[in-house]
A = this chain, B = another copy of it.
Amino acid sequence: MLRKNRLFTPGPTPLLPSAVRAMASADVHHRTADFRALYQRVLADLKVFVGTKNDVLLLSCSGSGAMEASVANFTSPGDRVLVLTAGKFGERWRDLAQAYHCQVEMVEAPYGATISIEDVKAKLTPHVRVVYMQATESSTGARHDVKAVAQLLQGTDTLLVVDAITGLGTTHFDVDGWGIDVVIGGSQKAVMIPPGLAYLSVSERAWKRTTSATHPRYYFDLQKERKAAARGESAFTPATSLIAGLGAAMDFIRENGKGDLALGRELLIENAELAAKMTRAAASALGLELYAAKAPASALTAITAPSGISSDDIVKRFRDQFGAVVANGQAEMKGKIFRIAHLGYYDYMDTIGAIAALEQIIAELRPGHIEFGCALRAAQEAFARSRAEKKQAQAK
């Protein structure tokens, strides 16, 4: 059959059509009143989307750039920092902090596991200047308990910086209530536009820290960005078309929330949650193991390839037979797991399509092992159950 090119990767995610149209029309100079109006509107919308009263800044770079900014602006050489890691993105925090000559303490969990809060508690001392963690570890599909870590830090002088690049729009956060100092997001994730923008919220505590942090910084100087944002501008030439796309994405999320952006964000989270539920039910019905079974994120589902089968083969069949790009495992996990995304612009038909293709692939790879329809039945039941529960809740 024909094969439409469909991304099921946890970033980049499928593009929102209205954002694509906005990007295509963004023939604009960035030092004009027109662009300033757009920029200010997008920054204001991002505050609501992140769910904070803190400043939110936009950077023209990938999420890793905002991660670097969160090291360069909040630490000084020799500072002790605590990095929580259970996957490739946790390791990025470690690499960044080491590149900036911090003293890096680590709390590690095996790939696929979630960070133990007890372990964090054991490593926390008043000398720790910053805790760096992920909300969801996209390399393994695991979710970490941001709220519990935030609670450990209450009343201390330790900053909490959360890479929520796949966590924003897939996880319920109370940024200000829990006291998360910095939350980082990326454009190619739940906000449904291409890579090239990162955004982050910065608490007053974190702003104060920037005044004592001595690391060299220029493009990623957050104070400079803050001052520019106060004028409705960016410090450097911004990725204007992506910002126009982000504006359209915020409009879409708001419209989906019937005019309420915060409600729209919650519905977007629920969307990912339901797609994840359907996919997990289907994987279990196929006898497949979830890689992060204990604390699975809603942003994506990582599934262990059946014994004797490489996930390379599964990923290739998704691509060659169905036009679907699913993610392989990264580094050591390559060949062992594959990952199907739920964050952003996925609907029921996308989700059921990926599950149906997986069923075909497993049937071909393991002849006689499964009955056609078993995974789809499980997904259909999960969808119908969720719909019934929602109706019941609305009736109350």
Docked-complex contact B275 and A349, CB < 8 angstroms? no
Check if A380 sits within 8 Å of B384, measured CB to CB.
Answer: no
Residues of B within 8 A of A357 (CB): 348-349
Binds B, one of A80-88, A215-223, A370-378: A370-378
**Which residue of B345, B359, B374, B378 is within 8 Å of A2 (Cβ)?**
B345
**Is A322 on the interface with B (CB-CB < 8 A)?**
yes
Residues from 337 to 396 in A contacting B, C-beta threshold 8 Å: 345-354, 356-357, 359-360, 363-364, 371-374, 376-378, 380-381, 383-384
Q: How far is the CB of A395 from chain B (nearest CB, A)?
A: 16
Q: What's the dominant secondary structure at chain A's contact region? A: helix
Q: Is A196 an interface residue (CB 8 A)?
A: no
- Is A242 an interface residue, CB under 8 A from the partner? no
Contacts of A380 in B (CB 8 A): 356, 359-360, 363, 372-373, 376
| Contact assessment for A4 and B349 in the assembled complex, using a CB-CB cutoff below 8 Å | yes
> Are B360 and A4 in touch, CB under 8 angstroms?
no
Contact B350 A349 (CB under 8 A): yes
- Copies of chain A in the complex: 2
**Are the CB atoms of B377 and A371 closer together than 8 Å?**
yes
Knowing A347-B323, A373-B374, A376-B380, the reply to whether A1 touches B275 (Cβ < 8 A) is yes
State which residues 1-34 of A face B: CB under 8 Å. Answer: 1-4, 6, 24
- Report chain B residues within 8 Å CB of A324: 349
Q: Are A352's CB and B350's CB within 8 A?
A: no
Contacts of A364 in B (CB 8 A): 384
Is A164 interfacial (CB 8 A cutoff)? no
Asked whether A256 is an interface residue with its Cβ less than 8 Å from the other chain, the reply is: yes
**Is A274 interfacial (CB 8 A cutoff)?**
yes
Expressed in whole angstroms, the minimum distance between the Cβ of A322 and any Cβ of chain B is 6
* A303-360 CB contacts (< 8 Å) to partner B: 322-324, 345-354, 356-357, 359-360
- Judging by beta carbons under 8 Å apart, are B271 and A1 in contact? yes
Q: A373-B374, A376-B373, A376-B380 are contacts. A353–B349 as well, Cβ < 8 Å? A: yes
Known: A1-B271, A348-B357, A372-B381; 4 extra A-B contacts, CB below 8 A, are A6-B349, A352-B352, A356-B376, A371-B377
